[in-house]
Structure 1
Amino acid sequence: MSETALTRKQTLFYLSFLILMWGINWPLSKYALEFTPPLLFAGLRTLIGGALLIVVALPRWRKLRLRETWPYYLFSAFLSIVFYYGFQTVGLQYMPAGLFSAIVFLQPVLLGLFAWMWLGERMYARKMIGLLLGFAGVAVMSVGGLEGGISLIGILLALASALSWALGTVYIKRQAAKVDSLWMTAMQILIGGTVMTAYGSAVEDWSKIRWTGAFIYDTLFISIFVIALGWLVYFKLIGSGEATKVGSFTFLIPVVSIICSVLFLNERLTLNLLAGMALIVASILLVNMRQRRLPG
């Protein structure tokens, strides 16, 4: 799964795409839950995304090497897909999306720590301050969500979602040389979607899904652009660069989510939003600034 280094233009393009797609995912997912039980929705959208990636990966079928690599696919599927999307989709029912996303975006801070512990990435005071500033920025933007009430179950599910995402990212980075990047992404999403759909079918009722045009278009958009292409781009960025730095840019995802809510859902542009954006920009600058070496 070794990746060739991306140029600055390619990195900027991929980051922009990822931030935009994963940013609009939050309001789109919240909207879809009006039409469907949460676990079936989490499974369905992921299963479609995984199936699409399998079709794309088929010309490289020789690189699948399923007998040797299936444990990597299975473990990463549970960490990055089943637990992450499962906790997230169920948790969105218990808390406002803004507050929930603020807790989930503790992930870049956790990722920075885990990358330092297990990937050998450098950790220094400025980088840690930057990561904490980013989390603070997301929290400040989402303070308004407190008005919608706090749920202990929702908080625990958001924390579990952040932890599984961070662990999944580090695990995939550690196994990079052992698996093909496209097959790793396709298989973990397909396995994750299959597990969530099966579990959802056991505990939820398919007849409760309202198959409106809006729900179908919403689900297909998320499946193609957020799940299939989004994860492909995310792991491409992680594979070609420093996990902590890529993680720091994901702090911008809730910014996009809230801006979309302001533009299309008539939510107000508040002082909290502007202050949070300023903290996030400072965070990304601190994490990505080159560390000067002292003359020896």
Structure 2
Amino acid sequence: MSETALSRKQTLFYLVFLILMWGINWPLSKYALAFTPPILFAGLRTLIGGALLILIALPRWKQLRLRETWLYYVFSALLSIVFYYGFQTVGLQYMPAGLFSAIVFLQPVLLGLFAWMWLGEGMYTRKMVGLLLGFGGVAAMSIGGLEGGTSILGILLALGSALSWALGTVYIKRQADKVDSLWMTAMQIMIGGIVMTAYGSTVESWSEVRWTAAFLYDTLFISVFVIALGWLTYFKLIGSGEASKVGSYTFLIPVVSIVCSILFLNEHLTVNLIVGMALIVSSILLVNVRHRRV
């Protein structure tokens, strides 16, 4: 089932919602990890989000067509959820979060290349320069992470996270006419949640989770707004427009994350942050300005 085109106001609303939710996800997740082992937390929040989406999708159960479409759900779950969150959760233990997130946000650059290669989207010098500027902006904001040291394994896991996110996005865009978009989002998140929860249960202990009110509120917020509604919004935007253009706006996510950290975690405004923001704004303008064909 292909997506219908969104109006400008709808697109703007979805983009603002997505950037805000996925931006505040980083500090919220960092806070939650004080109460829980990482893989169990990744599985739990995804499992709750997937269950919520399945409840939303149930009135359209006839469009699930599980016998015909199960392989699409499994493959997209592995790329967009299991590998993306799995590499991310494990990798954050090996290097600073700022530097790790900068590498993960190579994703819009990879997405632009893959969308050109496999989705037939246009690629021209200005767009590629814009994507690279956006990555440079994220790197500039996160440069302080270099002070904490680097790890080859951490770098490889961050690259794996970026690569799986980009490939998962292109895969879902390519299969848009073969599956119902709501069921695709719900099933991949549910399958991913089951896999990560099962794996986390074998390598971590549930007894280490501290079920405080703060942890429960934090987890529920992430499950509902970041996981369920966030991914639903992301794939709705991808389905209704050019993947590379939507990807360019995700460069704003770490900006929101850092601003929230300044406001609530007592971090400081730096020259790096200002330079990074300027590069990201330039990136979005370059990628999204209309290209005139001669």
Classify the TM-score, shorter chain: over 0.9
Single out whichever of 169-178 and 203-212 deviates more from structure 2: 203-212
Aligned to 1:279: 279
Alignment-derived partner of residue 244 in structure 1: 244
The offset of 1:153, in angstroms, is: 2.0
Gaps of 5+ in 1: none
After TM superposition, give the deviation of residue 152 of structure 1 in Å. Answer: 2.0
Alignment root-mean-square deviation, CA = 0.8
CA distance in 2, matches of 1:123, 1:293: 12
Q: Which residue of 2 aligns with 1:135?
A: 135
Moved over 4 A (4+): none
Alignment-derived partner of residue 121 in structure 1: 121
For each residue in 1:107-149, what CA deviation from the matched residue of structure 2 results, as whole angstroms up to 9, or x when unmatched? 0000000000000001011000000000000000001111222
8 Å Cα contact 1:30/1:92 also seen in 2: no
2:293 partner SS: coil
Take 2:84 and 2:100, find their aligned partners in 1: how far apart are those partners? Answer: 13
Which residue of structure 1 lines up, in the alignment, with residue 213 of structure 2? 213
Distance between the aligned counterparts of 1:234 and 1:126, measured in 2? Answer: 24
My pick for the range that moved more, 208-217 or 46-55, is: 208-217
Are residue 75 (structure 1) and residue 79 (structure 2) matched? no
Number of residue pairs aligned between Structure 1 and Structure 2: 294
* Equivalent pair of 1:26/1:97 in contact (CA under 8 Å): no
In the TM superposition, 1:124-273 aligns within 5 A as 124-273=124-273
The aligned counterpart of 2:103 is 103
SS in 2 for 1:230: helix
For normalisation by structure 2, the TM-score amounts to 0.99
Deviations 1:26-68 (A, max 9, x none): 1111121111111111100000000000000000000000000
Task: Write the distance in 2 (CA, Å) between the matches of 1:110 and 1:52.
Answer: 30
Shift of 1:93: 2.1
SS in 1 for 2:56: helix
Match of 1:112 in 2: 112
Provide the C-alpha distance between the structure 2 equivalents of 1:49 and 1:146, rounded to a whole number of angstroms.
33
d(CA) in 2 for partners of 1:149, 1:261: 21
Aligned to 2:12: 12
Question: What is the aligned partner in structure 1 of residue 291 from structure 2?
Answer: 291
Amino acid corresponding to residue 81 of structure 1 in structure 2: I
State the alpha-carbon separation in 1 of the partners of residues 112 and 213 from structure 2: 41
Bigger Cα displacement from structure 2, 135-144 vs 146-155: 146-155
CA distance in 1, matches of 2:137, 2:254: 10
TM-score in terms of structure 1 length:
0.98
CA contact (8 A) 1:48 1:223 kept: yes
CA–CA separation in structure 2 for the residues paired with 1:46 and 1:173: 21
2:104 counterpart letter in structure 1: V
Unpaired segments ≥5 residues, structure 2: none
Larger mean CA deviation between 185-194 and 141-150 belongs to: 141-150
1:130 is matched by which residue type in structure 2?
Answer: G
Write the letter of the residue equivalent to 1:111: L
8 Å CA contact retained: 1:74, 1:188: yes
Distance across 1 between alignment mates of 2:128 and 2:238: 19
Aligned equivalent of 2:85: 85
In the aligned structure 2, how far is the partner of 1:219 from the partner of 1:95? 24
Shift of 1:92: 1.8
